[in-house]
Amino acid sequence: MGLLFAKLMTVFGDREHKVIIVGLDNAGKTTILYQFLAKEAVHTSPTVGSNVEEISVRKTRFLVWDIGGQESLRTSWNSYYCDTEIVILVVDSTDRERLTLTREELHRMLAHEDLQNAAVLVLANKQDMKDSMTAAEISQCLTLSSITGHSWHIQACCALTGEGLPAGLDWMRRGLPGLLSTASIAQKMALRSQIHEQDQLRQGHFSRFQALSRAGPLRTPSGPQGTLSSVAPRNSVSLSHSQFRSALRALPAAP
């Protein structure tokens, strides 16, 4: 039971949540990462590769990857997708010409199988600039309302001052139980009943093992001395995190 509990904690307990920050070059991704971390604007240069930092929001820990947005780097974004729970898409709200390109990148990304359970936070950055588009305009251009298989939210912000970023982080934090519940309430219940069933089977097998042990050495039909695992139930549940995520992926998209 202790082992099962430990495995359950791996699935549902306190762990880091993987987040990736993507968006075209110059959108403000690295500035945002360090505002999240240090609450101040840092001097940045174009990111080649990625930066990664751990950010805690009221005891929720996020492992945040900021990925370079230059054209030559965008083809490698998908190498960061595995196990991502939240995608932060940063948009330069003054960059009208490239908003169509951002939309294409967003929808291509969401079609990737590794992101099927990821939630999307769009940060409409550079709101301090006079000619910036509003979050509503950006939402429309990105056709966010057409995204049905992912939980999403758009937040206006300014990475230089940090304005709007706490609200974005708060949405991420509050969205996490939702990520599990929208996609997997049924899965959790099935898991619990399987665990209960497994416990019962184990208890039954253990009693049988004790009875057999009292009767003499335990033997399998082929002869060698048996072990408790030789009579282990066939329908045992594996609760490794990656298998659980795969099971979630196999579920139909949340309504």
Using CB under 6 A, which of the segments 95-103, 121-129, 137-145, 187-195 binds ligand GTP? 121-129
Q: Determine the distance from the C-alpha atom of residue 55 to the mean position of all C-alpha atoms in its chain, rounded to a whole number.
A: 15
**Residue from 30, 35, 84, 151 that binds Mg ion (CB under 5 A)?**
30
Q: In this structure, are strands 60-67 and 119-125 parallel, antiparallel, or unpaired? A: unpaired
Cβ proximity to ligand GTP: between 122 and 183 the closer is 122
* Residue 84 interacts with Mg ion (CB under 5 A): yes or no: no
- Nearest distance from residue 235's CB to Mg ion, in Å? 48
Query: Toward ligand GTP, which CB reaches closer, 70 or 207?
Result: 70
Site for ligand GTP in 193-252 (CB under 6 A): none
- Cβ atoms within 10 A of the Cβ of 190, count? 13
- Which of 31, 155 has the CB closer to ligand GTP? 31
Among 23, 32, 47, 80, binds Mg ion (CB under 5 A): 47
DSSP letter string over 77-124?
GGGG-TT--EEEEEEETT--TTHHHHHHHHHHHHTSGGGTT-EEEEEE
The single residue listed with the structure tokens 């206006």 is: 156
State the DSSP code for 142: T
SS3 category, 132: coil
CB atoms within 10 A of CB 42: 12
Contacting ligand GTP within 141-170 (CB under 6 A) = 158-160
Q: Which of 6, 9, 101, 129 binds ligand GTP (CB under 6 A)?
A: 129
Choose the contact partner of 26 out of Mg ion, ligand GTP, none; CB within 5 to 8 A by kind: ligand GTP
Which residues carry a binding-site annotation?
23-30, 47, 69, 125-128
Distance, CA of 165 to CA of 41 (rounded, Å): 12
Q: Which is nearer to ligand GTP, 144 or 159 (CB)?
A: 159
Residue with tokens 């795969």: 246
35, 70, 140, 187: which one is catalytic? 70
Contact criterion met (CB below 8 Å) for 138 and 124: yes
Judge contact between 47 and 33, C-beta under 8 A: no
Known catalytic residue: 70? yes
Question: Which H or E run contains 3?
Answer: helix 2-12
Measured from the CB of residue 48, what is the shortest distance to ligand GTP in angstroms? 8
**Count of residues interacting with ligand GTP (CB under 6 A):** 22
Among residues 6, 10, 46, 203, the one that binds ligand GTP under rule CB under 6 A: 46
CB-neighbour burial class of residue 157 (10 A; exposed 0-12, middle 13-18, buried 19+):
buried
Binding residues for ligand GTP (CB under 6 A): 23, 25-31, 44, 46-47, 68-70, 90, 125-126, 128-129, 158-160
Binding-site ranges for Mg ion (CB under 5 A): 29-30, 47
Catalytic residue positions, numbered: 70
